[in-house]
């Protein structure tokens, strides 16, 4: 297969997998609220998109950007898999401790704790499976990453929806999704060794060194999610459960924006890494600039479409949720726009995050996230209390602007330093 055909195949399947993965969370959020009502919808939204995602991050450990840019093979797949097993176990233990504490202190019912626990386990298994998908990309088979993600997401999503319709029980549907995840991951272990020579390659012994090398990336990604979710936590703390559910729905399109930006960036990660390692800094900067302009153009288009079609889109969302939700989304058109705008800012910030990772500037990444997390902790409750859902949306937008400015300025600074050197 020639280079152009391979790149097209990579882009197609990475796009398909990323979009389906992003759409799954949105479809399921609407589906659960429609079928089981706002209470189960709220439990699902928090368990899947907030707490579950935070547990995913512990299992994921921020390793993917490091693994897919390890083009020299400094670490073997055994090292990456060994570390991922430890982080997955840590995520399970954290979920048990957190949910157990809330249940024992009476803040969660047993039903809520168990439902959120199953949804968190599903997301933790997502984090475990990512080590296989990252290795596909590292070995130059990004299309295989997209194919695996597409198949696994469709299987688990359809299984969850079918179980919920048949039983009407969120616990049983979540358990079914977890079992389907397990079957998918077992299939990975049996199928992929034949397609990826690196899975069976000799090596290992670098697990502790790998853990030290990626620790700051993990802390940074963990703080990144806190910054992203700070507005959600503020809404949950300061506003009503109904507001929390509405805000979660309004927030869903940001996942698509983020993943669309990622499928634009990821096919070029190897080229960026090679340009940097070869010292071709002008080519490296040119690639970054072109990707930034492309993402900025898509962001502008998304914002324009939101201004023009935001009302009809939110009306359609109300129609999907049911007659009881009439007017509850359209009343928040302004908040919806600022959330979309903030999602675009985050997509651009993500490009400069990858730039700093390729340059192995983990301390700079950590510094930006630590500062943004501190700002989020200080301002998000006040914004939500003073401005409600619109205030939380504006807070999210400001925090994304902070990330973009921090990563861009530091990336430009270090690139100038290296060119002088």
Phi, psi (degrees; rounded to nearest 5) at 179:
-65, -40
What end-to-end distance do the CA atoms of the chain give, in Å? 39
Q: Does residue 135 contact residue 67 with C-beta atoms inside 8 Å?
A: yes
CA torsion, ordered 95, 98, 100, 104, to nearest 10 deg? -170
CA 33 from centroid of its chain's CA atoms: 22
Q: For residue 29, what is the DSSP state?
A: H
The CA distance from 268 to 259, in Å, is 15
pLDDT score at 198: 66
What are 280's two structure tokens? 């071709």
What distances in angstroms separate CA 290 from CA 46, 257, 268, 337, 398, one per listed residue?
37, 18, 11, 26, 25
Give the Cα-Cα-Cα angle 29, 167, 232 (nearest 5 degrees): 20
Q: Does residue 271 contact residue 416 with C-beta atoms inside 8 Å?
A: no
- Domain boundaries defined on the chain: 1-205, 212-421
pTM: 0.78
pLDDT score at 184: 92
- Per-residue pLDDT of the chain (421 residues), as tens digits, is 566 677 778 778 888 887 888 788 888 988 998 888 878 888 898 889 888 998 999 999 878 878 887 777 778 888 888 899 999 999 999 999 999 998 998 878 899 899 999 999 999 999 999 888 888 888 778 888 888 899 999 999 999 999 999 999 999 999 999 999 999 999 888 887 767 766 766 566 678 888 888 887 788 788 888 898 889 878 877 777 677 778 888 888 887 787 777 778 877 887 888 888 878 888 888 889 989 999 999 889 989 998 988 888 888 888 878 777 777 788 889 999 999 999 999 999 989 988 888 888 878 888 999 999 999 999 999 999 999 999 999 999 999 999 999 999 998 888 888 877 6
Q: Does residue 374 contact residue 288 with C-beta atoms inside 8 Å?
A: no
Residue 284: helix, strand or coil by DSSP?
helix
Closest to 350 measured CA to CA, from 411, 283, 303, 277: 411
């Amino acid at each position: 297969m020639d280079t152009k055909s391979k790149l097209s195949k990579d882009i197609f399947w990475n796009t398909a997998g990323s979009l389906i993965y992003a759409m799954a969370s949105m479809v399921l959020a609407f589906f659960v609220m429609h079928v089981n009502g706002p209470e189960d919808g709220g439990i699902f939204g928090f368990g899947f998109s907030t707490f579950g995602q935070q547990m995913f991050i512990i299992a994921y450990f921020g390793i993917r950007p490091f693994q897919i840019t390890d083009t020299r093979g400094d670490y073997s797949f055994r090292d990456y898999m060994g570390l991922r097993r430890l982080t997955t176990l840590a995520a399970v233990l954290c979920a048990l401790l957190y949910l157990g504490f809330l249940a024992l202190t009476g803040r969660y019912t047993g039903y809520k704790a168990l439902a959120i626990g199953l949804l968190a386990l599903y997301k933790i298994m997502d984090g475990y499976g990512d080590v296989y998908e990252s290795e596909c990309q590292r070995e130059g088979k990004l299309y295989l990453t997209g194919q695996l993600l597409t198949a696994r997401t469709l299987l688990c999503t359809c299984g969850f929806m079918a179980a919920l319709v048949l039983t009407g029980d969120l616990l049983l549907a979540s358990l079914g999704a977890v079992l389907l995840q397990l079957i998918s991951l077992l299939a990975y272990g049996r199928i992929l060794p034949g397609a990826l020579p690196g899975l069976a390659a000799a090596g290992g012994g670098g697990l502790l060194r790998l853990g030290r090398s990626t620790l700051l990336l993990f802390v940074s990604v963990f703080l990144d999610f806190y910054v992203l979710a700070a507005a959600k936590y503020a809404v949950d703390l300061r506003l009503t459960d109904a507001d929390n559910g509405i805000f979660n729905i309004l927030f869903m399109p940001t996942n698509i924006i983020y993943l669309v930006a990622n499928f634009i960036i990821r096919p070029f990660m190897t080229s960026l890494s090679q340009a940097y390692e070869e010292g071709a800094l002008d080519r490296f900067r040119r690639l970054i600039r072109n990707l930034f302009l492309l993402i900025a153009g898509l962001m502008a288009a998304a914002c324009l479409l939101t201004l023009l079609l935001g009302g009809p889109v939110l009306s359609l969302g109300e129609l999907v949720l049911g007659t009881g939700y009439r007017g509850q989304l359209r009343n928040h058109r302004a908040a919806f726009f600022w959330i979309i705008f903030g999602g675009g800012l985050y997509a651009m910030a993500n490009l400069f995050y990858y730039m700093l990772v390729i340059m192995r500037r983990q301390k700079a990444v950590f510094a930006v996230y630590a500062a943004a997390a501190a700002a989020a902790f200080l301002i998000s409750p006040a914004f939500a209390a003073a401005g409600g859902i619109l205030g939380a949306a504006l807070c999210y937008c400001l925090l994304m602007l902070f990330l973009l400015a921090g990563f861009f300025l530091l990336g430009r600074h270090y690139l100038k330093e290296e060119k002088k050197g």
